[in-house]
Structure 1
């Protein structure tokens, strides 16, 4: 903020007050995010390779498993019903698998000494991680748009108004942003980008497959049904299906009576906000101790 005062001789003197902590942190975070987005543009193969995997999942699951998996409440062998059941899971997998890239990017910055250079600048400590996760969110959003277009081309359709559909995608991106903080913590913990990539994927596979993303939960063993329906990933998938209109009124919302499956939108919000609060705190603390 700038104020104008008068000097002894009557001439106006401008006094610049230092910005507050919040405004400074926001400004620094946006600068770091811009830096990471520019780097992504200069290395387009990173974005291109990030698109290949989700598109492959869309095509393979649709045409390989589409006629063999029965969706509750739909006719046996209904490929269109499975296509609509599947896509929310593919979208959720796409945004969460960006976690590995976030962790590898931060580990690479640590390995090259870039974080040490940021330390020498008069900037907010948390801004380095916040800016990185915001840049990853933008890249994830672009990937999600491309995957959604591919899904439309193979026959996926929504059956709700545009506001609900956008709300579904917003929940998916919020989950992706929450998981990027897990990736940030992993990237700060390991020593190499390769280890961050492996560490960012090894726990994602059971999380995404022990869920309602690709197959109905009712076919799982009973103990896995409880795990799947309390899985934060499952809550967001169920919420997206509901907001996209990709659910059947004849199918039960929950097999085990789990609260998140009966209130998926609220549960998705709670899980994502809780993950952000916990892992952002841990990641910023780790960042400060790693660069102290």
Structure 2
């Protein structure tokens, strides 16, 4: 058996381990989806009429606008979840025990990454289900939905590797729960909840060029059944490449130091 085949086999074993954890402790997945759902309900039903009027529409129009920001908030929460999972394995000595076994070294990290991607997509499905229940009606056709799923998968993959790296360097589980927190706030400082054009100078420029804004704009276009702007797609791919590669190299370097 080749080294690649060993890596795939062992990664599959580690993925099954993480999936069993998801089944045994579903409360973590529900918790990661709960915060975005609470924010969605708060902004739609408390602020939605006023913010919708600011967009020149109604509460329903604001719901259409805010859902991509809530979805990005969910992906950020998923990064927090994988950071907690990795930090727990690190502090409990599981990773050190795995390193003494005859398994592919990369499989430990890839198991966490693949498991977290599945967990995040469950969270995204829950958020979308609640959004549909309160009146969200996307107009995407099957091709646009496929594009949305592909974009969500790429973004989730990038932020999951960043979450793995943050979990690797955290000295405690509590630290791992705090360091990814900026990922859950950046949608507020982008186009997730209000158009960036309404922001004051300085903040507006930051909102336009920070990573989350092109992600949310591309998702918003896909869910509305239109092609995302070329610059949003290019910026999204560029940011995903930087975040995924940076997270992977950081996690691998930290892992090799153990």
Q: TM-score range by the shorter chain?
A: over 0.9
| Counterpart selection for 2:106 from 126, 135, 143 | 126
| Counterpart selection for 1:160 from 118, 128, 140 | 140
- C-alpha offsets along residues 211-262 of structure 1, whole Å, 9 cap, x if unaligned? 1001110111211111111111111100001111178xxxxx9xxxxxxx65
How many matched pairs?
A: 257
Taking structure 1 as reference, are residues 267 and 177 closer, same or farther at Cα in structure 2, changes over 3 Å only?
same
| Counterpart selection for 2:236 from 262, 268, 272 | 268
Q: Distance in 2 between matches of 1:158 and 1:133?
A: 29
- Cα deviation for residue 205 of structure 1 reads 4.1
- Cα deviation for residue 41 of structure 1 reads 0.7
Unaligned runs of 5+ in 2: none
Residue 58 (structure 1) aligns with:
40
Q: Distance in 1 between matches of 2:248 and 2:146?
A: 26
Residue 29 (structure 1) aligns with:
11
Unaligned runs of 5+ in 1: 1-17, 248-252, 254-260
Divergent runs of 4+, >3 A: none
Taking structure 1 as reference, are residues 206 and 150 closer, same or farther at Cα in structure 2, changes over 3 Å only?
closer
Q: Distance in 1 between matches of 2:49 and 2:157?
A: 33
- Cα deviation for residue 142 of structure 1 reads 1.0
| Counterpart selection for 1:225 from 204, 218, 239 | 204
* TM-score calculated relative to the size of structure 1: 0.82
Contact 1:32/1:132, CA 8 A, preserved across alignment: yes
* TM-score calculated relative to the size of structure 2: 0.93
Q: CA RMSD in A?
A: 1.9
Taking structure 1 as reference, are residues 27 and 71 closer, same or farther at Cα in structure 2, changes over 3 Å only?
farther
Q: Distance in 2 between matches of 1:61 and 1:136?
A: 27
Matched, 1:193 2:158: no
Matched, 1:215 2:183: no
Contact 2:76/2:184, CA 8 A, preserved across alignment: no
After superposing the two structures, state which structure 1 stretch, 85-94 or 268-277, moved more: 268-277
